[in-house]
Amino acid sequence: VNFSEPYRPQFHYSPKINWMNDPNGLVYNDGVYHLFHQYNPFGNRWGYMSWGHATSTDLVHWDHKAVAIPYGKEEEEGIFSGSAVVDHQNTSGFGDGGDPPIVAIYTSHYTREDGSTDQAQSLAYSIDGGQTFTKFEGNPVLEFDDPDFRDPNVSWNEEMGRWLMVVALPTQHKVQFYASDNLKDWEYLSDFGPAGATGGIWECPDFFRLPVDDNPENQKWVLHVDMNPGSVAGGSGSQYFVGEWDGTSFIPDETFMETAPHWTDYGTDFYAAISWNNIPEEDARQLWVGWMNNWDYANEIPTHPWRSAMSIPRSIHLESNNESYSLVQKPVESLRQLREDPVRLENLDLSDETIDLSQEGISGKAFEMIVEIEPGDAESVGINVREAENQRTVIGYNSVNQNVFADRTNSGESDFFEGFEQRNDVPVHLSDGTVKIRFFVDWSSVEVFVNDGSRVITNRIFPDPESIGVSAFADGGSATITNIEFWPLESIWT
Ligand code: FRU
pLDDT tens per residue, range 108-160: 999 999 999 999 999 999 999 999 999 999 999 999 999 999 999 999 999 99
Model pLDDT for residues 414-473, shown as the tens digit of each residue: 999 999 999 999 999 998 999 999 999 999 999 999 999 999 999 999 999 999 999 999
Helix (H) or strand (E) holding 254: helix 254-258
Look at residue 490 and give its three-state secondary structure: coil
Cβ–ligand 1 distance for 107 under 6 Å, the answer yes
pTM over 0.80: yes
- 18-334, superfamily in CATH? Glycosyl hydrolase domain; family 43 (2.115.10.20)
What are the Cα distances from residue 135, in Å, to 48, 122, 384?
A: 17, 8, 50
Cβ–ligand 1 distance for 21 under 6 Å, the answer yes
Helix (H) or strand (E) holding 257: helix 254-258
The number of residues making up the chain comes to 494
Candidates 151, 169, 269, 307: which one to mutate for ligand 1, based on the most atoms within 8 Å of Cβ?
151
Instruction: Quote the radius of gyration of the chain (alpha carbons, Å).
Output: 22
Q: What is the pLDDT of residue 401?
A: 97
In 378-444, DSSP assigns E strands to 380-388, 391-398, 403-407, 423-427, 435-442
Cβ–ligand 1 distance for 149 under 6 Å, the answer no
Residue of minimum CA distance from atom 12 in ligand 1: 80
Residue ranges of the chain with pLDDT lower than 50? Answer: none
Look up the ipTM and state it: 0.98
Q: What is the pLDDT of residue 280?
A: 87
38 C-alpha to center of ligand 1: Å?
A: 8
Do 400 and 379 meet the contact criterion of CB atoms below 8 Å apart?
A: yes
Cβ–ligand 1 distance for 148 under 6 Å, the answer no
Look at residue 82 and give its three-state secondary structure: strand
Domain 339-488 has CATH 2.60.40.1930: no
What are the Cα distances from residue 181, in Å, to 35, 279, 459, 462?
A: 25, 21, 41, 48
Beta carbons within 10 angstroms of residue 443's beta carbon = 24
Cβ–ligand 1 distance for 77 under 6 Å, the answer no
> Would you call 22 a catalytic residue per the annotation?
yes
Q: Which amino acid is at 469?
A: G
Do 415 and 466 meet the contact criterion of CB atoms below 8 Å apart?
A: no
Residue of minimum CA distance from atom 7 in ligand 1: 22
Residue 145 neighbours by CB under 8 Å, 6+ apart: none
Do 143 and 110 meet the contact criterion of CB atoms below 8 Å apart?
A: no
Q: What is the pLDDT of residue 369?
A: 98
5 C-alpha to center of ligand 1: Å?
A: 27
Q: What is the pLDDT of residue 1?
A: 80
Nearest CA among 109, 120, 133 for reference residue 25: 133
Cβ–ligand 1 distance for 169 under 6 Å, the answer no
457 C-alpha to center of ligand 1: Å?
A: 22
Residue of minimum CA distance from atom 8 in ligand 1: 203
Do 354 and 480 meet the contact criterion of CB atoms below 8 Å apart?
A: no
Backbone angles phi, psi at 217, to 5 degrees: -75, -15
Candidates 20, 38, 148: which one to mutate for ligand 1, based on the most atoms within 8 Å of Cβ?
38
46 C-alpha to center of ligand 1: Å?
A: 10
Which pairing describes strands 445-450 and 380-388: parallel, antiparallel, or unpaired? unpaired
Q: Give me the DSSP letters along 176-239.
A: EEEEESSSSS-EEEEEE-S-S--SSEEEEEEEEEEEETTEEEEEEEEEEEEEESS-TTSSSEEE
Q: What is the pLDDT of residue 308?
A: 98
Candidates 39, 46, 109, 203: which one to mutate for ligand 1, based on the most atoms within 8 Å of Cβ?
203
Q: Which atom of ligand 1 is nearest to the CA of 295?
A: 7
Instruction: Enumerate the domain spans of the chain.
Output: 18-334, 339-488
453 C-alpha to center of ligand 1: Å?
A: 27
Q: Which atom of ligand 1 is nearest to the CA of 204?
A: 9
Q: What is the pLDDT of residue 157?
A: 96
Cβ–ligand 1 distance for 227 under 6 Å, the answer no
Q: What is the pLDDT of residue 494?
A: 80
Give the span between the Cα atoms of 373 and 450, in whole angstroms: 11
413 C-alpha to center of ligand 1: Å?
A: 26
Q: What is the pLDDT of residue 284?
A: 79
20 C-alpha to center of ligand 1: Å?
A: 11
The alpha carbon torsion through 322, 371, 14, 463 (nearest 10 deg) reads: 120
Residue 322 neighbours by CB under 8 Å, 6+ apart: none
The alpha carbon torsion through 372, 310, 363, 455 (nearest 10 deg) reads: -10
Q: What is the pLDDT of residue 409?
A: 98
Cβ burial 125-162 (10 Å sphere, 16+ → b, else e): bbbebbeebebbeebbbbebeeebbbbbbbbbbeeeeb
Do 326 and 457 meet the contact criterion of CB atoms below 8 Å apart?
A: no
Residue of minimum CA distance from atom 6 in ligand 1: 80
